[in-house]
Structures are given as C-alpha cells and as structure tokens.
C-alpha cells in the first residue's frame, strides 16, 4: 500500500502530511489534524454532519477521498470564527434555541453559512432547500431555520445585532427564554463527544457479530486474531469474571454471546488493536463455527407452544404480560349501542440519533475501571457493570460523555461491558466507535405492536367499555420490554373516564433485533390506536371528534384505568386551547376535507415547492391533491412508572457570587442543563451565567437517575431547588447574623443581596466572601426530591403509577397527492400542559422535535427485517424527515401547575410525541377517506387504499 502526500490549506494554515490512500477528507481532518468538529454521523453522505468548505464550495467530507483535497483550501467549523469568537450565524443558532444535542449542529452551521454565502437574501423556502442535505433528529428544524433567517437579517442590517443577545431585563429566570448554556460549545464544534476523545496509547476496538438470527456457538477460536502483530487483546464471554447477565428488568443479556447467538448482529467477540485496520484484520481471523437453530420472527408465533425457545429459562417466550382491568367489560359491551372493532399495526422504529454509539474506557491510577460513554443512565449501568466485573461498585466509574441524541436508545446498556472488559484485559485505554450501519442493525428499536381494539359506546357517544390487546415484538433480549408493556397498558385507553376497561399487553421474545426504550415507552403505540379508533367512532356517531373527546374526558375527580383518583386533570383546557388555537371548524369525522372552511389558514406552510431558488413553482399537483384536518388527544405520566422515583443534588455558593450545582443530570439535548441554571439562579438570587453545573459522573455527582420517563425537570430541577433552598437557608442565617437582622429579612436576586426594612445591601460576591472569611462558613446545601408512586396490582393493575400527568392535543393539516399518494403535513398545532414552563423556547423546541419524530413514524420510517436480517441498514434506506418535510408547528403551552412539584413544573419530552401520529392519520382520512391502520402510511399504502376505495365505490354503484 502506498501512502499519498497531501498538501492543502486548512482553516488558513498550510498543511502537508502523509495519508492512507483510501482515507477520506473526513478521516484526515479528524484523525490526522484532530479537528473533531466535523463528524461522521453516517459515513455515506446521508446526514450532513461532515460538511466542510472545499475551495469555497460546501461538500460532504465523508464522500471525498483525501486526494481530491490536494491543493485545496479547506474550511471546517473550527475555522469559521477566530478563537473564542462566534460568527453571526453561530450566535443566531445560540439565540433561537437551534442547538439541542448539538451533534448535527456543526454541519448545520456550515450548511446555513453556505446558504447565506450563496444567496445573502435567501428566503424561508430557499433556506430549507439549502439545508435539505442535513438531518437533525432533535429540533424539528424550525428553530434552525429561524436562526438562519435571524442571521440573514442581522447581516443585512434589517435587524440590530442586539437581537442576538440574551433577552434583556429578566427579573425572574424561570419562565424566561434563557439561551442554552451549552450551545456555544456546540455551535463552534469545540465540544468533544466520546468518538472525538483520545488518550495516549489508546487502542481501537472492533466487534465480531453474529451473522445468524439463532445459532449455537459450536466453537470460537481467537488464537490467530490474538497473535496478529498490533493486537493488544481479544475478549469473549469467557472473559467475564462476574455475573454475565444484565438488563433493565431481567438480567438476560450477556456482554457477548454465551453458548448461542439470538439475533443477527449480536456481539460474539471483540478485538482491540493499535489501529482500526489491524483490529478489522484480526476480526477476520476469528474462527467461529455455528450450528443454526430454528428461529422465530413473529411475536404471536413466538407465544405459541410449538415455537423455538429463545431463552431456555423462559420456554413460553413471554417476556412480560401486563393486565389491567376495571369494572366489567362484558357488561359494558352488552349495554353499548355501538361496538366498533379494529386492528392496528405499528412498526419497528430506529432512534437515529446523529451520534452513533461510542465509548472510551480505561483503568485509572487507583484501579477504578472508568467508562466514558453517552449513557442515559449511568447509575444503573454502573450497577450492572459492577456485577459483571465482580468489582465493588465504587471501583467502577461511569462518566456520561456529551450525548449526541438518545431518545431512549442510549438508556439500555449495550456495549459498555465490552469496553470495561477490554480495558481491564489490555491495561490500555480502549475506544469503540460504532458505524452508522452497526448502530442501526445491532442496537435496540421501538417495540412494534399488533393491537386489537374493541370499544363500546352509547349512541350519545359515552364510552362504556374499552378492550385492548397488544402483542409486541421484544426481540432477542428483554431490555426495557417489561416497562414498555406496562406503560403501554396504563396509558393505552387514553385520557378518558371509562367505567369498564380491559387491557392486556404482551411482550414476546423473538430472534429479531431487540426492542428497547424509545421516547414514549409504549404510550404512542397504544394511544395511536385509541385516537384512531375514537375518530372511527366519531364518524359512526356523526360527532365532531373534539365533542367525543370532551364528552368522555378525564376531569378532576375522575378515576383512571388503574383506579387512581385524579385530583387535577387539565385535558378539557388543553382540548379547548388546541381547538381555538387552530381555528378548528366543528363537524363530524366524515371526509370533510373538501367542504371544511378552516383549511389553508395561518399556521400552515406552503406545500413544498422545490425550486425556490429557480423562481419556479415545481410542485404542480394541478388539482390532483386533497387537504384535510385531524386531531388527537393524549396523556402521559411523569417520572418512573409505578415505582418510587428519587433525585439528589448538591449546591455550593461559590466565590464571586457564583455557584456550583452538582447532580446526576443527563443532558441529551432536551435542555435540562439550562433549566437547572435558571432554577438555581432564581433560588440563589444570582444569574444563569453564574452557575456551573458539574458533570454527570457516578464518582462525582449524587444520583439523580436517568434521562427517561420525561423525569428530569420534575425530579432533578425540583431536587436542585431543594438543594438551593438548603444552601440559602444556611447562607441567609450567616449573613443575617453578620448584619444583625432576622434571616427572613434576607432577599437576593440578580447577584445582589439585601435585608428588607434596612438599607443593608451588597453583592452576592461580597456576601460569599464574608460568609467564608468572616463567618468561617462554606455555604453548601443538599436536596432530594421524591415522587411517591406505587406498584401495580399484578391481577387488575390497580395502583398509582404517577403523581403527575401531562395532557395534550394536536391538530394536523395535511395535503395528499392523489396521483402519487404522497402526504405533506403542512401545519401542526400542539397544546400540552407542562405544569409550568421553565424555559418556554425550550418547551417549544421539544414539541417541535417530537412532532417531527411523529411525522417520520407516521409517514416514512420503517425498520424492516426479513428472517431477522435488516434491509434498512443505512440512512439511504431508513428514511428520516428533512427540513423540507416538516410542517409549520404552533406550540400552545398550557400551565396547570402540579401541586406536588415545588416548582409546579411537569415535563414535555415524551408527551409531545404521543398525539402526532393519530392526528396525521385522522387528517389523511378527512382528506381522502382512507384510514391507514398500519404504520407507516407510505405513498404505496395510501395509493393502494385509495384505489381500493374507488373500486368498492364503483362496485357499490354498479350493484345498485
């Protein structure tokens, strides 16, 4: 192999290096020059995270062999602004809340910069076209486009540069649109994620994976691999010293396959070597002999007695059955005037966070096994690792590296065990970085569900009985299946006061890619069916879909399906807010599309007309399209399900009137760091920029548990508030003593502290100094917040799974192309009761991102396996929404403060994703009269359904 010489300019500096002949410019920038702002989100040109300027033209560095850059002038994100500076564009991204997890952001900043360089007057549609090659999974693009428009207007001097600054005059920070405190590191590309981290003598790990869905491992010979020069270590299940089994609920998963493999892509062995090429060569030298076993791929088949057994300890293949029953459904149906039954099917969905899994592990000088990884649940992962490694728990340290998107996919532990084992074996730091394909095919997905639904109503529309049965594919390992089944069941029948319910959810083992935690944790599958079903019922009864919801809505005093009495329920308020916010025209759920008068109003975007920069309208459906509107309601429980939840925090008032806040906070892009800074600022009497939040590290921060269940604002912000109050109580006592006043006279705000009814006043900086030097007291506080949930009865599911619920409603307006079956979602109006919006812009950003994930799952996303083998193993085949696919989203924040939450706040991350899919499906029905009951609603399915409808109408007419 002949290395090549490349000579080029990078960010203004001349560079001359040797490079491997097959390196891409991306490899050269990251590995040779350590410019890690340019990312490898997919390696196949499908995501845009690798965008760089080559001689002034924006290109994808993952598709550029490095020789092509010879002689070129390269600009990366690091070169946009000088050191410690931000361009107008970067400042605009900071201002509008365009940055969430940050992983797509450097590439997005580059694409946005290119857009305005090419056309400084680019309008809204042209901006979307020019960032059409960059995928974001967190934001829903709305605030990114706003950022580009703001930057354009500042650069063109239509708007002053002060528009980029923090909102002025915020007396209280809670409730204000404080800019994200972690955005500057993200928009500049400076923040390093796990795959960007390096350590001296680090070795690179690669994993050998099973090619079979179900097979016995007859023999596994790693001798040749271990003997290859450059290889530092090889591990298999034989290397596990402790308990080789982990999982969130049931510890059924080995670190690497033991005795048999249960799904295609399961880890079998791993190699660490001095470089990736050697590691891959060594992988090829591992000899495995498999004996293929009969496999099962359908969950209903898996539950039959004759099915192949996936785990010997569970011959039934049933991971978990959650039953919930209240009243007597048989009687309810007998009393009903109308009974409607239907079957629905949801698909396996891929999380598609832009950061593929990665991790770096080492054993530190004190013998502590340390793993840096973007884990959503370091506390739980540490527990499991300590059992796996047979080490005391404080000899295992999990540090959360910045998370480039999670959505539940980084909640189940997947690869951290291998990293820990390898670093112990080799005595060297070890890094593993997944390829995108590896991430898609081998890590957990959303549970697909087959749901049979039966609802009985009176002719006036009162629901008397709901019966739901869901059979879900849990895949090869249990992971979060039990919890998903539980949440799917508890929330399934929706926010409705129903006297008789019977819900049964079943999670089954199969030899498919495992299903695990994914935003909404089962609630969106079951509520998709409920809200679609209610639309069916509304049509049959001739009722407006809102009226049907209102008639049956949970109200304060209602009893839930688990027989919990709700003291508060804001569903009616949320329904009204959405209906009014969208100007919904009342009417039954027939095909009203052509006749309704509330279409094409404010709050919609135009149908996508590619060609904006050509000044051409390329989208000409010529009357061959139909529009419609649909709605759906939702509810969601906050924090851990049916179990006590807890979070702890420490706070120290620090020099200069600043503060340290330390808690196990898991920022995955949802904005919790900023929320904590706002809360601490208000509680302590200082400003968000004075707050430093400590890292999420099992050895350094108190447990606040995981990012999941929409729990962090509720649990952790409250814990931080408690800790701040504790610190202030102690601090105020000292300052009061110093001033000779009563502690309850002490007030602080915005960095100033004073005693009421006196003229005593000083800065917080001075006060901290006095507290420490004069009073000899270091002002530290601690706090805890507990959510008192109970488990569910194993027979009828009764219990109090949550103390706070978020009610929601969304309306969708769609346009269906009747020639092609393509659907465009033009507008979404989303109302959610968040209790109290700590950062309204942050709440909007979460709603927008959730809506777009919903759109993807409604129309285009489908993780497909055939006999256990994935056919959608790249972003070319697994289709994600781009900036051009998203509707205009109007967020309507409703606030019904939770009385048990000291801050009043509840949450938004998952609730916002629940009603989107059924709202879109109901809108499609309104437009063209076809009801898609199996997701996604692709153009093929819609066209086939349309043709079938036309045919049966024609036959119906012919029969007359």
Partner 1 sequence: MLTCDDYVVPENLLDALMAWSGAPEGSRLLAGATDTLPWARQGRAGDVAGDVHVPTIIDVSRVTGLDGYDFPNAGRIRLGANVVFQQFLEDPELREHLPHMSSCAMWFADDQIRRQATVAGNIVNASPAADGVAPLVALNATVELARQENGTIERRSVPLISFIEGPGRTQMAPGEILTSISCDSAKGYGGSFEKVGHRRSLVISVVCATCCVKPSTDGMTFEDVRLALGGVGPTPMRLDDVETFLRGQPISAAVIAEAATMPVDRVASRTRRTYRREVVCGFTERAIRGALASINVEIPDHLGTGQGAADV
Residue list 58-117, contact with partner 1 (CB under 8 A): 58-60, 62-65, 67-68, 70, 111, 114
Which is nearer to partner 1, 595 or 871 (by Cβ)?
871
Minimum Å gap between C-beta 225 and partner 1 is 11
Q: Using CA atoms, how far apart are residues 215 and 259, in angstroms rounded to an integer? A: 9
* Cis check: omega of the bond before 417, within 30 degrees of 0: no
Answer for which of 33, 45, 331, 769 binds partner 1 (CB under 8 A) is 45
Minimum Å gap between C-beta 944 and partner 1 is 7
Show contacts with partner 1 in window 748-787 (CB under 8 A): none
How far is CA 353 from its chain centroid?
Answer: 8
Q: Which stretch binds partner 1 (CB under 8 A): 249-257, 605-613, 672-680, 727-735?
A: 605-613
Determine the size of the site formed for partner 1 (CB under 8 A).
85
CB 455 within 8 A of CB 492: no
Which is nearer to partner 1, 134 or 466 (by Cβ)?
134
Q: Using CA atoms, how far apart are residues 826 and 627, in angstroms rounded to an integer? A: 10
Q: Which stretch binds partner 1 (CB under 8 A): 193-201, 205-213, 226-234, 542-550?
A: 205-213
Which is nearer to partner 1, 507 or 887 (by Cβ)?
887
Going by C-alpha positions, the residue among 849, 858, 842, 831 that lies closest to residue 919 is 858
**Is residue 210 at the binding interface for partner 1, with CB under 8 A as the rule?**
yes
Answer for which of 624, 644, 774, 864 binds partner 1 (CB under 8 A) is 624
Helix axes 142-155, 88-96, angle to 10 degrees: 140
Minimum Å gap between C-beta 700 and partner 1 is 34
**Is residue 223 at the binding interface for partner 1, with CB under 8 A as the rule?**
no
Q: Which stretch binds partner 1 (CB under 8 A): 37-45, 192-200, 588-596, 774-782?
A: 37-45
**Is residue 940 at the binding interface for partner 1, with CB under 8 A as the rule?**
yes
Which is nearer to partner 1, 23 or 103 (by Cβ)?
23
Q: Which stretch binds partner 1 (CB under 8 A): 200-208, 408-416, 805-813, 836-844?
A: 200-208
Task: Name the maximum alpha-carbon separation found in the chain.
Answer: 97
Answer for which of 197, 296, 354, 440 binds partner 1 (CB under 8 A) is 440
Which is nearer to partner 1, 132 or 308 (by Cβ)?
132
**Is residue 465 at the binding interface for partner 1, with CB under 8 A as the rule?**
no
Minimum Å gap between C-beta 829 and partner 1 is 21
Minimum Å gap between C-beta 321 and partner 1 is 31
CA distances from 777 to 586, 651, 767, 773 (A): 65, 14, 11, 8
**Is residue 608 at the binding interface for partner 1, with CB under 8 A as the rule?**
yes
Q: Using CA atoms, how far apart are residues 800 and 802, in angstroms rounded to an integer? A: 6
Answer for which of 84, 162, 219, 622 binds partner 1 (CB under 8 A) is 622
All residues at 6 or more sequence positions from 768 whose CB lies less than 8 Å from its CB, including other chains: 653, 654, 655, 656, 657, 779
**Is residue 199 at the binding interface for partner 1, with CB under 8 A as the rule?**
no
Q: Which helix (H) or strand (E) holds 500?
A: strand 500-509
**Is residue 48 at the binding interface for partner 1, with CB under 8 A as the rule?**
yes
Going by C-alpha positions, the residue among 449, 418, 484, 488 that lies closest to residue 253 is 418
Number of helices (H) and strands (E), helices first, in the chain? 23, 33
Q: Using CA atoms, how far apart are residues 649 and 639, in angstroms rounded to an integer? A: 17
Which is nearer to partner 1, 236 or 663 (by Cβ)?
236
All residues at 6 or more sequence positions from 312 whose CB lies less than 8 Å from its CB, including other chains: none
Answer for which of 13, 22, 158, 788 binds partner 1 (CB under 8 A) is 22
CB 60 within 8 A of CB 25: no
Residue 116, CA atoms < 13 Å, CB-side half-sphere: 20
Q: Which stretch binds partner 1 (CB under 8 A): 246-254, 337-345, 899-907, 937-945?
A: 937-945
Q: Is the dihedral of CA 420, 424, 426, 428 positive or negative?
A: positive
Show contacts with partner 1 in window 469-508 (CB under 8 A): none
Going by C-alpha positions, the residue among 424, 385, 395, 425 that lies closest to residue 243 is 385
CB 806 within 8 A of CB 819: no
Minimum Å gap between C-beta 414 and partner 1 is 14
Answer for which of 69, 187, 222, 441 binds partner 1 (CB under 8 A) is 441
CB 258 within 8 A of CB 243: no
Show contacts with partner 1 in window 252-291 (CB under 8 A): 264-265, 277, 280, 283-284
Q: Are strands 203-209 and 267-273 parallel, antiparallel or unpaired?
A: antiparallel
Show contacts with partner 1 in window 783-822 (CB under 8 A): 818-822
Q: Which stretch binds partner 1 (CB under 8 A): 44-52, 85-93, 333-341, 907-915?
A: 44-52
Phi, psi of 525 (to 5 degrees): -65, -50
Minimum Å gap between C-beta 806 and partner 1 is 30
Per the DSSP assignment, residues forming a β-bridge with 632 are 810
- Residues 289-308: x where in contact with partner 1 by CB under 8 A, - otherwise, as a string: --------------------
CB 458 within 8 A of CB 336: yes
CA distances from 41 to 107, 275, 526, 604, 646 (A): 10, 20, 32, 31, 35
**Is residue 873 at the binding interface for partner 1, with CB under 8 A as the rule?**
yes
Minimum Å gap between C-beta 280 and partner 1 is 5
Which is nearer to partner 1, 325 or 442 (by Cβ)?
442
Q: Using CA atoms, how far apart are residues 326 and 159, in angstroms rounded to an integer? A: 59
Q: Which two tokens stand for residue 677?
A: 């800074």
Residue 81: CB atoms within 10 A of its CB come to 16
Three-state DSSP class for residue 267: strand
Minimum Å gap between C-beta 943 and partner 1 is 5
**Is residue 144 at the binding interface for partner 1, with CB under 8 A as the rule?**
no
- Residues 113-142: x where in contact with partner 1 by CB under 8 A, - otherwise, as a string: -x--------------xx-xxx--------
Which is nearer to partner 1, 730 or 949 (by Cβ)?
949
Phi, psi of 375 (to 5 degrees): -90, 135
Minimum Å gap between C-beta 820 and partner 1 is 5
Show contacts with partner 1 in window 508-537 (CB under 8 A): none
**Is residue 581 at the binding interface for partner 1, with CB under 8 A as the rule?**
no
Which is nearer to partner 1, 755 or 814 (by Cβ)?
814
Answer for which of 181, 222, 638, 943 binds partner 1 (CB under 8 A) is 943
Q: Using CA atoms, how far apart are residues 790 and 644, in angstroms rounded to an integer? A: 7
Phi, psi of 565 (to 5 degrees): -85, 125
């Amino acid at each position: 192999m002949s290395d090549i010489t490349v000579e080029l300019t990078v960010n203004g500096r001349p560079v001359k290096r040797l490079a491997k002949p097959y390196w891409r410019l991306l490899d050269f920038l990251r590995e040779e020059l350590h410019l890690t702002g340019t990312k490898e989100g997919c390696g196949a040109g499908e995501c845009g995270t690798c965008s760089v300027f080559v001689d002034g033209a924006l290109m994808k560095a993952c598709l550029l062999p490095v020789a092509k850059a010879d002689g070129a002038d390269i600009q990366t994100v690091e070169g946009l602004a000088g050191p410690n500076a931000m361009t107008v564009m970067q400042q605009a991204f900071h201002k509008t809340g365009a940055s969430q997890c940050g992983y797509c952001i450097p590439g997005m900043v580059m694409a946005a910069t290119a857009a305005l360089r090419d056309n400084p007057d680019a309008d809204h549609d042209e901006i979307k076209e020019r960032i059409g090659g960059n995928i974001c999974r967190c934001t829903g693009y709305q605030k990114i486009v706003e950022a580009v428009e703001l930057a354009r207007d500042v650069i063109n001097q239509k708007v002053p540069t002060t528009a980029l600054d923090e909102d002025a005059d915020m007396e209280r920070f809670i409730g204000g649109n404080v800019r994200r405190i972690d955005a500057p590191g993200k928009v500049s590309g400076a923040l390093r994620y796990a795959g960007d981290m390096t350590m001296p003598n680090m070795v690179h790990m690669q994993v050998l994976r099973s090619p079979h869905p179900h097979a016995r491992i007859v023999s596994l010979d790693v001798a040749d691999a271990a003997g290859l020069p450059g290889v530092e270590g090889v591990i298999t299940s034989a290397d596990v010293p402790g308990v080789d089994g982990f999982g969130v609920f049931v510890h059924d998963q080995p670190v690497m396959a033991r005795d048999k493999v249960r799904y295609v892509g399961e880890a079998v062995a791993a190699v660490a070597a001095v470089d990736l090429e050697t590691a891959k060569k060594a992988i090829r030298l591992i000899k495995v002999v498999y004996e293929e076993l009969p496999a099962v791929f359908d969950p209903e088949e898996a539950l039959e007695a004759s099915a192949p057994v996936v785990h010997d300890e569970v011959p039934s293949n049933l991971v978990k059955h959650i039953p919930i029953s209240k009243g007597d459904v048989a009687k309810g149906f007998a009393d009903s005037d109308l009974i409607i039954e239907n079957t629905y099917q949801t698909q396996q969905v891929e999380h598609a966070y832009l950061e593929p899994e990665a991790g770096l592990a080492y054993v530190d000088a004190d013998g502590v096994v340390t793993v840096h990884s973007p884990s959503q649940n370091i506390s739980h992962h540490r527990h499991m690792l300590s059992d796996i490694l047979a080490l005391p728990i404080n000899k295992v340290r999990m540090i959360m590296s910045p998370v480039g998107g999670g959505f539940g996919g980084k909640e189940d532990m997947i690869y951290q065990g291998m990293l820990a084992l390898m670093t112990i074996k080799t005595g060297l730091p070890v890094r593993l970085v997944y390829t995108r394909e590896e991430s898609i095919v081998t890590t957990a997905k959303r549970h697909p569900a087959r749901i049979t639904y039966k609802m009985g109503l009176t002719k006036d529309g009162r629901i008397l009985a709901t019966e739901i049965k869901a059979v879900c594919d849990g895949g090869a390992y249990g992971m979060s299946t039990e919890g998903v089944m539980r949440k799917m069941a508890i929330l399934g029948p929706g926010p409705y006061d129903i006297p008789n319910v019977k819900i049964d959810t079943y999670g089954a083992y199969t030899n498919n890619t495992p299903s695990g935690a994914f935003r909404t944790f089962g609630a969106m599958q079951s509520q998709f069916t409920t809200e679609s079903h209610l639309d069916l019922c509304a049509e049959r009864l001739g009722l407006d879909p809102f009226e049907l919801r209102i008639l049956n809505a949970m109200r304060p005093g209602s009893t839930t399906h688990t027989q919990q009495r709700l003291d508060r329920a804001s569903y009616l308020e949320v329904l009204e807010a959405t209906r009014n916010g969208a100007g919904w025209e009342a009417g039954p759920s027939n095909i009203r599309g052509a006749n309704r008068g509330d279409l094409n109003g404010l709050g919609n975007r135009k149908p996508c007309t590619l060609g904006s920069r050509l000044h051409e309208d390329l989208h000409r459906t010529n009357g061959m399209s139909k529009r419609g509107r649909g709605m759906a309601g939702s509810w969601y429980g906050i924090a851990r399900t049916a179990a006590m939840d807890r979070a702890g925090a420490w706070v120290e008032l620090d020099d200069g009137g600043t503060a340290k806040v330390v808690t196990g906070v898991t920022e995955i892009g949802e904005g919790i760091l900023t929320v904590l800074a706002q809360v601490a600022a208000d509680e302590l009497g200082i400003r968000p920029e004075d707050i430093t939040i400590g890292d999420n590290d099992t050895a350094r921060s108190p447990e606040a548990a995981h990012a999941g269940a929409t729990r962090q604002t509720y649990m952790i912000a409250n814990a931080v508030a408690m800790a701040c109050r504790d610190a202030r109580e102690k601090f105020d006592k000292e300052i009061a003593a110093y001033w000779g006043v009563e502690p309850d006279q002490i007030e602080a705000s915005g960095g100033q502290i004073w005693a009421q009814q006196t003229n005593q006043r000083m800065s917080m900086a001075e006060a901290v100094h006095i507290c420490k030097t004069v009073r000899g007291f270091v002002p530290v506080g601690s706090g805890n917040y507990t959510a008192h949930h109970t488990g569910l009865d194993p027979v009828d599911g009764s219990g109090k799974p949550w103390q706070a619920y978020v009610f929601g409603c969304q309306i969708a307006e769609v346009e269906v192309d009747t020639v092609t079956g393509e659907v465009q979602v033009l507008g979404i109006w989303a109302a959610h009761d968040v209790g109290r919006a700590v950062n309204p812009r942050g709440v909007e950003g979460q709603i927008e991102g959730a809506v777009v994930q919903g759109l993807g799952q409604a129309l285009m996303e489908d993780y497909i396996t055939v006999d256990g083998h994935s056919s959608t193993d790249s972003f070319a085949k697994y289709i994600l929404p781009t900036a051009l696919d998203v509707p205009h989203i109007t967020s309507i924040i409703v606030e019904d403060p939770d009385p048990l939450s000291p801050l009043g706040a509840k949450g938004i991350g998952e609730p916002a994703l629940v009603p989107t899919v059924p709202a879109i499906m109901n809108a499609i029905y309104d437009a063209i009269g076809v009801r898609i009951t199996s997701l996604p609603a692709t153009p093929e399915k819609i066209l086939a359904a349309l043709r079938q409808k036309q045919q049966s109408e024609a036959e119906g007419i012919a029969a007359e």
